[in-house]
Structure 1
């Protein structure tokens, strides 16, 4: 069921997405769905007494065991509805957390989900116990059982969250080592982002030959997948990139998950180019695109990172709709219309990616004074040094690095370099794709 209208979208389409969320959780058999319009949600029961009784009769007749509400349900409302209906109830945030918990495959993914779930539980736990806070002992400074229970439960959750954060810090350090190792092969990173089920994993598989889970299902991809690949479009030279397939975004993504998955989405923050994959066949593709942009903004994505859009799934449009979409795309310089399934339109997109990234890798020669040991160590740590020799003036270094590394070096060690002239990076393909 969908309670209320949070975003002004078509409630039927929102309900369809909610049902898709339910299908994304294994073991659930959806027996029915409906839009429940609430001019004013009841503070204690969410629904009015008549609707609660109507739904209770339906739940008993269909022998329903779980109710999903696509919206926010307070702890008090959840407790009262579960008592009235005698079934388990999940709101939108709880359902998304359940899906993420089921899909997490890596150690980091599992820890991130557990941390997000505890953060959510802690907030609801405190609110759920507020009805006991007035129960105090005879003396004003002695807390009653309600306060004691709140503090005990809060402390237990806080201790568990501290343990998870420590474990997560160790995992993140491992990821940083992997990222440092990738920096020694200075390929630019292309991050695929987009609304869930937009076709990112299908595109990733087509370009890399990987076998990432790609299904017509929300949150088919959870943990990030990266693959070095040489892309080659007709009429262009091959170019090497690292593709990163990320978790799909969704409207009203729980704030706990935005924070908890920040480390997972660091590949987006560090990307040299962001490719926003949109399902152009979806009726609310514009609203979905806005949700993606909002989350990227919340993550603190650098606006200077080049962005391109692939309006995907054009093969699902009828000829008239496809022509209209092509006309809209033609009016924008950063949009490409195509299909990850058929390969339509990918040649032009890949050529544009190659043009955008050709200025990312560059080679130069730099002579450092012997006293600049820290600068030399920094360059080696970044994997930017191809060779070096000692001269009378200092250490002469042959470098290959990204424009971003060069900018960071100039900022960290002012006066040592002028910005070098970009030159094409040599190709060293681990994988090759040709349309």
Structure 2
């Protein structure tokens, strides 16, 4: 058993500024000489790359819905050599699924409770003053078992506004850890799945340095460090996912980059050789690879480039004759017959599956997924139950291949995005997080 002191940065809702607070705090702690271990609570494959850029240490997801106790413990063990953990919540603090009537299952609050990390609530006080204290008090009192460090008041308009907001917090008995004045340049660029990718930010390091300086000026960094606590948890060391092959050719560029960090870390630690390649640069996967893996990403933004990538597509077809290929979400679309972009332009994809998807006819797909495999997927036998998360805006126009799995949402309701299997090629719309039999 070991104790991993930390804090969890959360908020009443999305859009309150918790990500910029998170990045600034990671950098501020790192500049003070601390070994900082970042985490992301919930299913997100974009934020961890920003966390790593902020403090130089790989960030990992912690997910109480999608991960069993052994995997959760193994990932939390990444903090064993750190001085402090800082986790970023998803959406609002108590937002989760309502599986079997359990409110907040998979929420950031559950992560905080499991790890014993006090919550730092980022409250947007624009348009209110003392009333913000009622919100903070409600979050503090909603579940008394959740440790609560205090609040950071964001987007404060003036010294008078700050004084009034502080008075409300003092009257409610809520500790104020900092007040951030309103600044229009603190918003990170976004697109339809949230933030742009870290590799796409024009000057990310300078932006994060600016966030850190801003926090140091307006937030009590020492108080935040002293607020860190943690409960004793079991030390996990062997439950990270096993690699589905020895040599894995992994697509990695601006179109394909969404893979959960613990998945790749598990593969590497088990001795798998991962060779990256870029479909956007028309690179072929390693011809000696046992498996080609195409992660999700933004292929819809690069349809013409992928359609013209003849070397990449030819190599995929050759590989699929004798060895497996798997695609997740965007990678699944790239393995299909065609992708139609938002302007209605048809782009020919690899054609290894019959899937045709369209962004001209947008449909929002979001949520946890539980999949019981009908066919084998690299690394997993038929009948295996997998847990993952789906998030995209594409519409399926054609899906003629055999379904890969029986897929349901977090409440057990069937969803039509079953994935596909044809020969040595498989694809899913959900991003794999864990296998239940290995959780």
Q: TM-score range by the shorter chain?
A: under 0.3
More strand by share: 2
More helix by share: 1
* TM-score (normalised: structure 1): 0.25
> Whose radius of gyration is greater, 1 or 2?
1
